[in-house]
Chains A and B, each alone.
Chain A
């Protein structure tokens, strides 16, 4: 996990959030969604550093939107999960479920 081809915990959170948001996945909603779903405070710098890493791994791709005056003339950068990224998320899920099964401490509830 967290290696060159695998996914770290925060990387997985970001990937799942991009998938949940669909077309509207850019910095602001990604950060807000992670905060709402996990209750943890995230900084935009961390989110962008993670997105850059995921992009280098080929798991996400990005495209620029239009520059708007409300954003100080800066464009939004929209992120999409690539097919390689989707495969890795599925593989990570399978691995986690496999590890989860048969653990008496974790059976009978989510916590």
Chain B
């Protein structure tokens, strides 16, 4: 439990949330709260922190999205210019290299977005990640998917094709988001004292 508390404290501080919140949760655990209660509270705090970070700084979130898009446009240009490979629908060396390139480029994008929005680094990286997720269905080949889905219902031989298509579609997105968050987390400064005492 102690190790998971340290991990949760790290997440909370990287998000720019108050370190006192992590301390309160540890205090409650010492008073007999369960690990389930603890992680529910951590997830709720992360959720509230990310959303309030985005909603309270909408212009900054737009800037983060613009920054992320600009950096990704550069990656896309470099990819098409120099890296003449792509994702295939079967496991292959090209797919592996492509996924690795996606992971590294998105980690760099997450790092750049976080470093250019230091005060609210992780919420801004999440704003860009949400933007990517919103755009992702645009590349979904729904007629092909529908055909595979219908065929798979009564013909089991089509099920591997359906699974392969879903993996081909979702794995790069998952790798992309994981890269972004990892890059953002590396860049984000631990912010132990996000609250500034009000002058009154």
A40 at the interface (CB under 8 A from B): no
Tally B residues with Cβ within 8 Å of A. Answer: 32
B200 touches A26 (CB 8 A): no
Residues of B at the A interface (CB closer than 8 Å) are 5-6, 9, 17-28, 30, 40-41, 44-49, 52, 193-195, 197-200
A49 at the interface (CB under 8 A from B): yes
Interface of B is mostly: helix
A75 touches B19 (CB 8 A): yes
Residues of A at the B interface (CB closer than 8 Å) are 26-28, 31, 43-46, 48-49, 52-53, 55, 58, 60-64, 67-68, 70-77, 82-84
Question: Within the complex, what minimum Cβ distance (angstroms) separates B79 from chain A?
Answer: 39
Query: Given the known A-B contacts A43-B41, A62-B197, A62-B198, are A72 and B48 also in contact in the complex, defined by CB atoms under 8 Å?
Result: no
Question: Within the complex, what minimum Cβ distance (angstroms) separates A83 from chain B?
Answer: 7
Complex partner residue of B48 from A26, A27, A49, A76, CB under 8 angstroms = A49
B9, closest chain A residue (CB): A72
Query: Given the known A-B contacts A26-B20, A44-B21, A45-B41, are A70 and B198 also in contact in the complex, defined by CB atoms under 8 Å?
Result: no
Residues of A within 8 A of B21 (CB): 27, 44-45, 48
